[in-house]
């Protein structure tokens, strides 16, 4: 298993040119660690808590009889959302994957990412745990193109075909139906990351997915998560190889039946001259629905737009997207 800090476990110090304000924004994000998060009534709802318990027990039926000390990270003391985070991360603790929470890396609309101390058995020092807020139950993406480009689960956990619009609508009506959809959504993100990792893509190694939590390799140091591409200024000589690396990852995903669907400089981390693609929450299967060609174009466009900030870098995104699609999928849908 690969250690986080390279071959000799020796942590090296590197200096990255950060964009003005990027470090401040990052510190602000860290400062939010101590600020209690506003509690929404929905997060404590019994339906949500029931779903969490069920997820945890499904993955570890004997959890109730556990003799070991329970998970009580000091990081959570005083936080109003502690019960919710605790119930999301305890199954990872029970499975000897994490031992503590170090910091909150990021808190977005739908998910919060924590840096956790890894259990020694994992061979990692830190791991990133991304946990979805229960708010997801209410606000599953309405974007039809995503819903119809995946296999989803109905209330009974049976695969429901992405194209079955009637089925999906009926399923979403009930609390259980929405919970099943959220579970299937998070599983899909995890599966996508697994597929990518197993085929050599530049993504954090995914370790586990339990309920609303995805556990993966942490990119960064104890003090600082790796900056996003949007936060750094690349050296001239890095531009072309990193651009090519990202396009290679886009093509690798397509070869293995995935389009990222939300790729941009905000979902790419930069560390020691290398990029790592993250956040596969919106990934889609191009074999399920060829309309997703437009998502591939958008991913490539955003990457090209980012690199276009650097002088003498002007590439036609649509041409790249068409080339990638044609190589892997055949004729481009808009030409057919
Ligand atoms: N494996 C990781 N290692 C280090 N940092 C990570 C990792 N995964 C995510 N992050 C950090 O957490 C942030 C949010 O993660 P991600 O993009 O997966 O979630 P999100 O729901 O899209 O959140 P946001 O809306 O803030 O983008 C990232 O921008 C990155 O800074
Ligand atoms: Mg993101």
| pLDDT (0 to 100) of residue 108 | 85
49 plus 178 within the same structural domain: yes
- The rounded distance, in Å, linking the Cα atoms of 214 and 171 is 24
- Let me know whether 188 and 298 are in one domain: no
Regarding whether 327 and 258 lie in a shared domain, the answer is yes
DSSP assignment, residue 71? -
Residues 324 and 264 in one domain: yes
Query: Tell me, what's the pLDDT at 314?
Result: 74
Do 234 and 196 share a structural domain?
Answer: no
Residue 218 CA, closest ligand 1 atom number: 3
pLDDT at residue 98, as a whole number? 98
| Nearest atom (ligand 1) to Cα of 204 | 1
Q: What is the mean pLDDT of each run of 10 residues along the chain (336 residues)?
A: 35 61 66 48 62 59 59 93 93 97 93 97 98 67 54 50 44 62 85 98 98 96 96 95 97 97 98 97 87 94 95 84 96 84
Q: ∠ at Cα 277 (273, 281), nearest 5°?
A: 165
pLDDT reported for residue 31: 56
The answer to whether residues 190 and 314 belong to one domain is: no
CA distance 165 to 152: 11
- Bridge partners of 153, per DSSP, are 159
Q: Where would I find the H helices in 10-81?
A: 22-31, 46-59
Q: Indicate whether 146 belongs to any domain.
A: no
Helix/strand/coil for 259: strand
For the chain, the domain total comes to: 2
Instruction: Choose one of 188, 217, 246: the last residue of a domain.
Output: 217
Helix intervals (H) in the chain: 22-31, 46-59, 82-94, 135-138, 144-147, 165-172, 175-198, 236-255, 293-308, 317-329
In a domain, 131, yes or no: yes
Q: Compute CA distances 260 → 121, 167, 285, whole Å.
A: 31, 25, 9
Report CA(128)–ligand 2 centroid distance (Å).
14
- CATH number of the domain residue 305 falls in: 1.10.510.10
pLDDT at residue number 9: 37
Q: What is the DSSP letter of 173?
A: T
| pLDDT for residue 102 | 97
Q: What is the pLDDT of residue 70?
A: 87
Please measure the distance between the N-terminal and C-terminal CA atoms of the chain and give it in whole angstroms. 46
Residues 330 and 262 in one domain: yes
Instruction: Give the range of the structural domain holding residue 197, as residue numbers without chain letter.
Output: 22-138+172-217
123 and 270 fall within a common domain:
no
* Contact 258 CB / ligand 1 (< 6 Å): no
| 166 domain residue, yes or no | no
The pLDDT score that the predictor gives to residue 109 is 81
Note whether 80 and 201 are same-domain residues: yes
Ligand 2 centroid from CA 203, angstroms: 13
Q: Is the CB of 278 under 6 A from ligand 1?
A: yes
In short, whether 228's Cβ falls inside 6 Å of ligand 1 is yes
Q: How far apart are the C-alpha atoms of 84 and 135, rounded to whole Å?
A: 12
Domain check: are 237 and 210 in the same one? no
* Residue 140, token pair as written in the block: 């599953």
For ligand 1, atom 22, the nearest C-alpha belongs to: 279
pTM of the model: 0.79
Ligand 1 atom nearest the C-alpha of 227 is: 31
**What's the pLDDT score for residue 174?**
66
CATH number of the domain within which 37 lies: 3.30.200.20
Q: In the prediction, which pLDDT does 139 show?
A: 53
- Measured in Å, residue 321 CA sits from the centre of ligand 1 at 25
Q: Is 279's C-beta closer than 6 angstroms to any atom of ligand 1? A: yes
């Amino acid at each position: 298993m690969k250690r986080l800090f390279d071959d000799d476990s020796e942590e090296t110090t590197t200096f990255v040119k950060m964009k003005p304000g990027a470090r401040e924004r990052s510190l602000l994000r860290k400062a939010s660690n101590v600020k209690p998060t506003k509690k929404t009534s929905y997060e404590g709802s019994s339906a949500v808590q029931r779903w969490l318990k069920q997820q945890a027990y499904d993955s570890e039926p004997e959890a109730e009889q556990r003799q070991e000390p329970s998970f009580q990270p000091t990081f959570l003391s005083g936080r109003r959302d502690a019960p919710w985070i605790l119930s999301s991360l305890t199954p990872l603790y029970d499975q000897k994957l994490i031992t503590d929470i170090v910091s909150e890396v990021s808190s977005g609309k739908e998910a919060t990412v924590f840096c956790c101390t890894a259990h020694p058995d994992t061979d990692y020092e830190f791991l990133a745990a991304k946990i979805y807020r229960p708010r997801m139950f209410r606000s599953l993406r309405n974007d039809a193109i995503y819903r119809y480009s995946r296999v989803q689960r109905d209330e009974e956990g049976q695969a429901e075909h992405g194209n079955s619009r009637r089925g999906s609508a009926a399923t979403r009506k009930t609390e259980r139906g929405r919970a099943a959809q959220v579970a299937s959504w998070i599983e899909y993100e995890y599966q996508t990351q697994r597929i990518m990792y197993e085929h050599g893509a530049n993504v954090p190694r995914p370790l586990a997915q339990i309920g609303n939590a995805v556990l993966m390799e942490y990119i960064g140091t104890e003090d600082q998560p790796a900056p996003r591409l949007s936060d750094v200024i690349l050296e001239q000589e890095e531009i072309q190889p990193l651009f090519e690396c990202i396009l290679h990852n886009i093509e690798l995903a397509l070869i293995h039946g995935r389009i990222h669907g939300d790729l941009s400089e905000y979902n790419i981390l930069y560390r020691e001259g290398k990029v790592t693609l993250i956040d596969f929450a919106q990934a889609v299967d191009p074999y399920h629905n060829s309309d997703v060609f437009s998502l591939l174009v958008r991913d490539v466009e955003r990457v090209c737009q980012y690199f276009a900030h650097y002088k003498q870098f002007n590439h036609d995104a649509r041409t790249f997207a068409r080339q990638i699609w044609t190589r892997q999928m055949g004729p481009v849908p808009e030409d057919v």
